[in-house]
Structures are given as C-alpha cells and as structure tokens.
C-alpha cells in the first residue's frame, strides 16, 4: 500500500490482517525476546492468534484509534511500531514498538516511531504522545529519549509479569516541546 524508508535497509509499511501468517512466523523469531516487555495479548502462538492481534489493530484504525505498522528488512518482517492508543478528541496518544533480536541496533525503531510521532503531532495535531515501558527496559527507554521525550514519572509496581510486579516509566513529548517545522 505504501512504503517509507527507515534507512539502514529498513522499510515501514502497513501491517494488516492479510499478513497473519507472516506475522506469526515473525513472532516465532521474536516471542521470547519481547514477552517480558509487552502486553500478554500481543504474544500469541498461532496464526489465528496473530490474525486476532492484527484484526484488533485494524478495528482500532477504522475507529481512528490504535493502529499498527510493520518494519521490514531484506523482505522480512522484523518488528513494528504502533499507536497503543490514539485519541484525536483528547489530543493524546501512546506509542509502542518491538523488534526481533537480529534487527536491533540499527535505529529502525527510532526512525519508525519518529514517523508515527510526526504524523500524530504535526499532521493530526495531537498535543501529547506517551511512551510507557518497564523501568528496567533500558533499550526501550533509550528510544523514548532519542525521540525527545521526557521521563515524567514512575508508576510503582504497575507491571505484573510472572508473579513479580515491576515499576513502569511514563515518558512523553508535547507538540510544544518540539522545534517548529
């Protein structure tokens, strides 16, 4: 449908229901790497589960809410970025991301999330974009920092995972924080 170059051989494209089998294959490479850091409903084990995730985001996009884009490299789906939430009425959104291990370290997610941020704040006129991550997710927090976000606070023990509750950081950038474009 469309392709945006991310540099480093990466491309951002819509990730839609018809990609279910490809998304499931990708999850086989990414599952254990992402499991501790993302919501449990994202970590599915079957093509039907992958399709249900894509369907949920497609329904969100149809309602101008949550939506998902994939990152491809060398013709292979290697990760993605999403609006976990998006509200034009409230003027705010939350971004999320993931990569399979082999695709880390090339700036792909920073570039992709930057495109989503530009779309939300510049094109759609939202005022606030958030990034929430487990407080010990150093790589995720580094992306938020590279996107120009500020660490606004820590939600204590807000993230349950396998019987332990972890702190969660809230990062955000406001449209007025960014240089005029």
Residue 114 CB, nearest approach to ligand COA (Å): 9
Secondary structure (H, E, C), 126-179: CCEEEEEEECCCHHHHHHHHHCCCEEEEEEEEEEEECCEEEEEEEEEEEHHHCC
Please identify, using beta-carbon distances, which residue of 63 and 66 lies nearer to ligand COA.
66
Q: Which residues, 6 or more positions from 119, have their beta carbon under 8 angstroms from its beta carbon? A: none
The residue at minimum Cβ distance from ligand COA is 107
**Smallest distance from ligand COA to CB 33, Å:** 6
Distance separating alpha carbons of residues 178 and 160, to the nearest angstrom = 33
Residue 118: count other Cβ atoms within 10 Å of its Cβ: 13
Mark 125-164 with x for binding to ligand COA (rule: CB under 6 A) and - for no binding: --------x---x-xx-xx--x------------------
Q: Considering only 41-49, 106-114, 119-127, 150-158, which stretch makes contact with ligand COA by CB under 6 A? A: 106-114
- Minimum CB separation of residue 35 from ligand COA in Å reads 9
Q: Which of 128, 123, 131, 130 is nearest to 174 (CA)?
A: 128
| Interface with ligand COA (CB under 6 A) | 7, 33-34, 37-38, 96-99, 104-110, 133, 137, 139-140, 142-143, 146
């Amino acid at each position: 449908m469309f392709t945006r170059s991310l540099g480093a051989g990466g491309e951002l494209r819509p990730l839609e229901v018809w990609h279910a089998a490809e998304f499931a294959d990708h999850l086989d490479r990414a599952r254990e790497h992402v499991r501790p850091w993302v919501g449990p409903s994202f970590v599915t084990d079957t093509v039907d589960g992958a399709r249900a995730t894509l369907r949920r985001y497609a329904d969100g996009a149809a309602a101008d809410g949550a939506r998902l884009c994939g990152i491809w490299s060398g013709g292979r789906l290697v990760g993605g970025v999403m609006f976990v939430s998006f509200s034009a009425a409230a003027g705010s959104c939350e971004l999320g991301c993931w990569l399979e291990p082999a695709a880390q370290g090339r700036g792909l997610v920073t570039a992709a999330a930057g495109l989503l941020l530009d779309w939300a704040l510049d094109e759609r006129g939202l005022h606030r974009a958030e990034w929430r991550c487990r407080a010990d997710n150093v790589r995720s927090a580094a992306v938020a920092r590279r996107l120009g976000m500020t660490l606004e606070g820590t939600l204590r023990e807000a993230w349950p995972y396998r019987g332990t509750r972890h702190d969660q950081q809230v990062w955000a950038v406001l449209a007025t924080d960014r240089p005029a474009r």
